[in-house]
Amino acid sequence: MINKIKNVKKILSLKLLIGLIFFIVALSFINAENQKRAQRILGAQTQLKLDQGTVDYWEQILKERPNYRDGWVQLAASYYKTGNLEKSEEAIGRARQLDPQNELILNFEKIIKETKK
């Protein structure tokens, strides 16, 4: 009878140990997934700051050189990336005024209008 009790205690201890190992492994997977998620969020925030910095840069350039067609295209693309479709459309419209037959400008203008729908 005492041997049976000792065997039951050993089995319970072993099951407890195995359960604890699975619990630790699961926690490590959850922690790794949370770190990946945090990095994606931080990466998105960093990209948004970079994109806004690009908007600021092109706005400044175009204050100095308002007839710089490619600058307007770059500004339109920067606005587009930040989700500001209204300003993107305005900027590409300025580029089109400077070069009305440019295919890149005309195609990008279509993309902006389709995205706004």
Q: pLDDT value at position 3?
A: 66
Q: pLDDT value at position 95?
A: 96
Q: pLDDT value at position 18?
A: 79
Structure tokens at 25: 């492994």
Q: How far apart are CA 95 and CA 17, in angstroms?
A: 69
Task: Tell me which of 54 and 36 has the higher pLDDT.
Answer: 54
pTM for this entry:
0.62
Q: Please say if the pLDDT value at position 35 is more than 80.
A: no
Q: pLDDT value at position 108?
A: 92
Q: Please compute the mean of the pLDDT values over residues 12-16 and round it to a whole number.
A: 74
CATH among 1.25.40.10, 1.10.10.10, 1.20.1630.10, 3.90.226.10 for 2-116: 1.25.40.10
Q: How far apart are CA 95 and CA 29, in angstroms?
A: 50
Q: pLDDT value at position 51?
A: 77
Q: How remote is the C-alpha of 15 from its chain's centroid?
A: 44
Which of 10-14, 17-21, 38-42, 97-101: highest mean pLDDT?
97-101
For the chain, how many residues are written? Answer: 117
Q: How far apart are CA 52 and CA 44, in angstroms?
A: 12
Q: pLDDT value at position 76?
A: 93
